[in-house]
Amino acid sequence: RSNTMWGGRYKLGPAEIMEKINASIGFDRRLYAQDIAGSVAHCDMLVAQGILTAKDGRAIKRGLAQVKAEIESGKFKFSTKLEDIHFNVEQRLTDIIGPAGGRLHTARSRNDQIALDVRLWVRDTIDKVELMLRDLQAALIDRADQYSSTIMPGFTHLQTAQPITFGHHLMAYVEMFGRDRSRFADCRARLNESPLGAAALAGSPHPIDPRKTAKALGFERPMANSLDAVSDRDYVIEFISAASTTAVHLSRLSEEIVIWCSAPFRFISLSDAFTTGSSIMPQKRNPDAAELTRAKVGRIVGAFVALCTILKGLPLTYGKDMQEDKEPLFDAADSLELGIAAMTGMIRDLKANPERMRAVASADYSVATDLADWLVRKVGLPFRQAHHVTGRLVGIAADKGIDLDKLSLEEMQAVEPKIDRSVYRVLTVEASVNARKSLGGTAPANVVRAVADARRRFLDK
Ligand code: ARG
């Protein structure tokens, strides 16, 4: 039997494989709420414009409400024969209210309908992700507050560089996730135009008012060009691009958590709630959540590549290729949400090991730069020369297997006679971090201020 939707022209039904490759209901059923919200707005507009009678409009809205309730209660029977969410909803609507159901699709096509549904879905998802990122920032800020003066080694090349504070390190991620939030906000602002009214591609001969549907659905305005309206998926690319950047940040923080949890580091520990054991090695506590969050970026960047590849070279306007946007989009969004939630959980769960962090921060001549800076400030050496003098002192200490502050004054003066006793004051990790009060620097006093600033900048709105 031919499809009821285009049965006029068709005598035969589709081949089995045609139905299989064509059907999207398996995944686009996730758009049911957006699809029905769009239909309600479209129906109201048709009534207001005198295209539908008020009576039909009421029946349609009643029917749509019932369809929605059936889907939400799990009673709805989705059919692959009906291809996608649009036909499934429309068919059920007509079953419930009769032929008036067939009037809903006046001045509309599945092309502007799907463009609308995906736009609404991405917008809803952005709103959710925004809140989740804010929550993650709140968790990081709380931790930074707690560990504002906890000293740890700062690394470059993963080699001990200079002492920093754990709070300062965590606040770096607060900034990253803040930029991520603003990228999502930018994407939201740009996507917030309604494609409804474009119909199949060229617009509609009916006296429709796209401004009405746009307003009803919370859009800034209708899209200016009908061809663009049905073929634009920029906002999907943009969303996944913002998701990719966020996933990169999550991955970097995850990697640090994995490193910090490892036995050679022992900077932090995660509780039973965020680790798993091994089936063979009884002593193991593996940071699986961090590892999985570290890996999610693969799927998300994969989705970005998929979307760009699907859309590249696609002639205007709609092509069924575009149906392939949904699975990568959904997967990217799901992966992102999972990653953010897991990270928020880990940040709230983790416990630092300040003694261990301080011990590692004190080793490996991490205060060498402080000595060089002291030589510049107190002795008046040019920085290059101070660097050289310090390098020699580090060499002497390393040969003896001792820290810089264990060198005697005589040993130091043998290299640079103008060194005096006050040098020892800068050779501790506490002095090192306390001295770094320059704007954006790691000093505990700065972290306390950064925490207060961040609460205002990121959490008060
Ligand atoms: N399921 C389709 C999609 O996801 C809906 C639009 C179908 N339009 C069409 N002309 N076949 O893109």
pLDDT tens, position by position, 164-207: 999 999 999 999 999 999 999 999 999 999 999 999 999 999 99
CA dihedral 57, 60, 66, 69 (to 10 degrees): -80
CA distances from 423 to 31, 394, 396 (A): 67, 14, 17
Q: What is the mean pLDDT of the chain?
A: 96
pTM score above 0.80: yes
* Mean pLDDT, residues 317-339 taken together: 97
Cβ atoms of residues 177 and 339 within 8 Å: no
The residue whose CB lies within 8 Å of the most ligand 1 atoms, and thus the one to mutate among 5, 34, 84, is 84
Whether pLDDT at 254 is above 70: yes
Task: Identify the residue whose C-alpha is closest to ligand 1 atom 7.
Answer: 110
Residue 67: alpha-carbon gap to chain centroid: 33
Confidence of residue 398 (pLDDT cuts 50, 70, 90): very high
- Atom of ligand 1 lying closest to residue 84 CA: 1
Closest CA to 88 of 115, 73, 70: 70
44: its two tokens: 């109201």
User: Measured from the CB, is residue 88 less than 6 Å from ligand 1?
Assistant: no
Query: How far is it, in rounded angstroms, from Cα 390 to Cα 371?
Result: 7
- Atom of ligand 1 lying closest to residue 118 CA: 4
Query: What are the residue numbers of the active site?
Result: 157, 278
- Percent of the chain, pLDDT > 70? 99
* Mean pLDDT, residues 48-74 taken together: 98
* Mean pLDDT, residues 366-393 taken together: 95
The predicted-structure confidence for 34-59, as pLDDT tens digits, reads as follows 999 999 999 999 999 999 999 999 99
The predicted-structure confidence for 228-248, as pLDDT tens digits, reads as follows 999 999 999 999 999 999 999
Helix, strand, coil fractions of the chain, as percent rounded to 5: 65, 5, 30
Closest CA to 387 of 397, 398, 376, 379: 376
Q: Which pLDDT value is given to residue 278?
A: 81
Query: How far is it, in rounded angstroms, from Cα 255 to Cα 137?
Result: 18
Q: Which pLDDT value is given to residue 413?
A: 96
Rg for the chain, CA atoms, rounded: 31
Packed helices 110-146 and 85-97: angle between N→C axes, nearest 10 degrees: 120
- Atom of ligand 1 lying closest to residue 24 CA: 1
* Mean pLDDT, residues 78-99 taken together: 96
Q: Which pLDDT value is given to residue 281?
A: 82
For residue 318, report the distance from its CA to the centre of ligand 1, in Å. Answer: 8
